[in-house]
Structure 1
Amino acid sequence: MRIAEYRLTRFQFARDRVIGDSQVRIEHAHMAALELISDTGLVGLGFVPSLFNALPSLAEIDRLFRVEIWPGLEGQEPAALVHRIRRPRGGNIRGASLPFAEGIDQALWDLTAKQIDLPLWKLLGGTKKRVKAYASGLDYHLSDDDFCALFEHARAIGYTAFKIKVGHPDIERDLHRLALLTKTVGKAEAIMIDANEGWSPQDAVRRLNIINKAGYDILWVEDPILRYDFEGLKMVRAGCPFTLVNSGEYFGASDKLRLIEARGTDMINVHGHVSEVMRIGWIAAEQGIPVSLGNSFLEIGVNMAIALPEVEWLEYSFQNFDHLVEQPIEIRDGYAYAPERPGHGLVLSETARRDHAIPDVLAAEELPPAPVNTRLPH
């Protein structure tokens, strides 16, 4: 089986709520779907998201893909590419003009698993059928009422673990949000907080101790300080033995390895790049370091979460992307379930391709309204 064609579809729409943290605010969604098509008719799907800015027009995306990426894929066997190790030297250490890498990786793994008629999580070695999911609000910019409504809904549909954004300049605001959360959800199995590098090491220790003394039992604090400050991360670990430090979100594989070697974190955070997640997962398993599966596009990361022995939690953030695929990953009663379908389990929706594709760049005021989020009450 060889790669014979590709297809790109561009999407751009308003989000159903403002998402963000102490550093960023995001109101719109931008992504492209990449489909790699084999000479046998199988289709591998990957996603090319742009978190902050609109992607260029479909014609320009296609031009860049055809010039920069396609020569290395056309006629190749997907299974021969997913484990290929490059020898990066000099000028060949460079990224593509657009963030194609993760989507290519997803599409290649999807095709490889479909070729042997296996769900991706089984191909990756998974044996369990589900992983615990925690409700993550991306809630920093929500009003108190909207914050409570989101987490009340999460609790009502079975979530028992919750992560909120902290890092406000005023510690009282962070304490206020924690009070609202505990009042809304009652006794939680776990509460996590995410500062998105909002603190210095000394400030992180001070603030985390204030939170702890206020009676909040925090399972982990995510990215409390700057990512490269390994000594500062060790200071936070030593000064806050009552919680875990979860870091690595902003790193590629090589820097995640350095973070592990420096003992700068109690947990390593990974996302949606299949090959990279598995490589880091193997290293973490040897070191006995837990892995958390952060947000991945349309929860494609459930495949890796189920396959890796060190993963106990998968993040779910109620983002309204489900309309893009025929059948989203099943999440119920606080668990994400492994799809039994061949490949990673996601197929681009023909309705989305027909009704929601936006080939040309639109200004914010021209965007269509947010698609209905079927995971939230409306």
Structure 2
Amino acid sequence: MLPKIKKFALTRFEYRFDRSIGDSQVFFENSHSVALELHDDAGNIGLGFGHKLFEPYPSQATMEATFAKYIWPEIEGQTAFELTQRVERPRGGNQRDAKYGFDEALQIALWDLASQQASMPLGKFLGGTREKVRAYASGLDFHMSDEEFVEFFSNAASHGFDTFKVKIGSPDPEWDLHRLELLKKTVGPDCGIMADANEAWSCKEAAMRLTMFHDAGIDLIWIEDPILRNDFAGLRSLREMAPFTQINSGEYLDLTGKRMLLQAGGTDIINVHGRVSDTMRIGWLAADMGLPVSLGNTFLETGVHAACALPEVEWLEYSFLSNEHLVDTPIEFKDGYALLPEKPGIGFALTDAARNIWSAPDPVAADALKTAPPCRFISK
């Protein structure tokens, strides 16, 4: 008999990143997240994280009341295994905003709990055979000065990363070209380069810029989200107009949108993120269509599990974000690879410091936010 879920706990976090991050459209400095823990009657604790980019979560008490009213009745007394396998019928009013804002945390926590009960790392529980996946260093660097940019990517290269993604999409094409050339000069001509425009361009403008970069000797592995996410016809056309690079898209689309993008032939690589069930489902479809999958940023790099389980995944994004102080054993990286943890589940748990020092049960005034310690690869 599988253990049943008997209790939940939420921990709210709010702190300042150790650096400002952003792209051609947005800029932010603070981390807003929530940890969900699901306890079973055998003593296992499944952990999942949700996060917001721009605004804090409501108070912890408010979130607990919402979870208790709308989510808890659906999972109390059930097994994590049955809940991870359940296929729901999305119709009418039950198509709400991702389980009242808890969907990502809930998916991860349930899969963590189920794989702990099986005494397997989540990546193995998902059917994976790999122990590691290639990772690329992502700067979220659009608002960095050139000096900060050089320092960041030099540091990433010194830690064994040999492939890098930069943010472009400036109104000035020469600025974009300058940053790409600066990266190449910083990390060396033999390193791999990717770029992310965050929907800054029209289809025709994207084709012109990509041709400009190519003619200047910048060979991009991919261009990410060059135009609007739902312009499937434009993305398909861009694939034809820029045969010298790959189009990576799908980051901003939900599961249904990703399916439609694949069916429309609008991307060379499908970009997925942290929701384990959704990621596996779209990964299976991509495998059926023979298309590569990339794992974008996932909170504390939990995406390494799905990445190692899906054979079409070639890359995992790593952005050197200062969240690692929340858990006991963050995901390891070696020689440009993210390593699958050996521990059962996702491989880590909340620390006492996370609960007692970094938790923020209520919203914090901006001038009172604590700054998180730097990522382990960055010394300050």
Q: TM-score, structure 2 length as denominator?
A: 0.98
- Counterpart of 1:325? 327
User: Whole-Å Cα distance in 2 between the matches of residues 98 and 371 of structure 1?
Assistant: 31
User: Whole-Å Cα distance in 1 between the matches of residues 374 and 162 of structure 2?
Assistant: 25
Deviations 1:347-366 (A, max 9, x none): 11122111111111111111
User: Whole-Å Cα distance in 2 between the matches of residues 370 and 88 of structure 1?
Assistant: 39
Deviations 1:99-145 (A, max 9, x none): 20010000000010011101111111111111100000000011111
- Counterpart of 1:146? 148
- Counterpart of 1:15? 17
Q: Which runs of structure 2 are paired with 1:1-378 in the superposition (5 Å)?
A: 1-95=3-97, 98-378=100-380
User: Whole-Å Cα distance in 2 between the matches of residues 236 and 121 of structure 1?
Assistant: 34
- Whichever residue aligns with residue 89 of structure 2, its letter is R
User: Whole-Å Cα distance in 1 between the matches of residues 374 and 289 of structure 2?
Assistant: 43
Runs of 4+ in structure 1 off by over 4 angstroms are: none
Gaps of 5+ in 1: none
- Whichever residue aligns with residue 270 of structure 1, its letter is V
Query: Identity percentage over the alignment?
Result: 53
User: Whole-Å Cα distance in 1 between the matches of residues 379 and 176 of structure 2?
Assistant: 26
Secondary structure at the residue paired with 2:85?
Answer: coil
User: Whole-Å Cα distance in 1 between the matches of residues 377 and 68 of structure 2?
Assistant: 36
Q: TM-score, structure 1 length as denominator?
A: 0.98
- Whichever residue aligns with residue 72 of structure 1, its letter is E
Contact 1:49 1:99 in 2 (8 A): no
Secondary structure at the residue paired with 1:282?
Answer: helix
Greater shift in the superposed pair: 355-364 or 263-272: 355-364
Count, aligned residues? 378
Per-residue deviation, 1:89 = 1.9
User: Whole-Å Cα distance in 2 between the matches of residues 28 and 173 of structure 1?
Assistant: 27
Calculate the aligned-residue CA RMSD, in Å.
1.0
User: Whole-Å Cα distance in 2 between the matches of residues 98 and 319 of structure 1?
Assistant: 26
Per-residue deviation, 1:228 = 0.6
Gaps of 5+ in 2: none
Greater shift in the superposed pair: 366-375 or 166-175: 366-375
User: Whole-Å Cα distance in 2 between the matches of residues 324 and 177 of structure 1?
Assistant: 33
Deviations 1:70-96 (A, max 9, x none): 111111111000010111222212125
Per-residue deviation, 1:19 = 0.6
User: Whole-Å Cα distance in 2 between the matches of residues 247 and 64 of structure 1?
Assistant: 33
Per-residue deviation, 1:369 = 2.2
Contact 2:132 2:339 in 1 (8 A): yes
Greater shift in the superposed pair: 366-375 or 344-353: 366-375
User: Whole-Å Cα distance in 1 between the matches of residues 319 and 361 of structure 2?
Assistant: 27
- Whichever residue aligns with residue 290 of structure 2, its letter is G
Per-residue deviation, 1:370 = 2.7
User: Whole-Å Cα distance in 2 between the matches of residues 3 and 235 of structure 1?
Assistant: 49
- Whichever residue aligns with residue 269 of structure 2, its letter is M
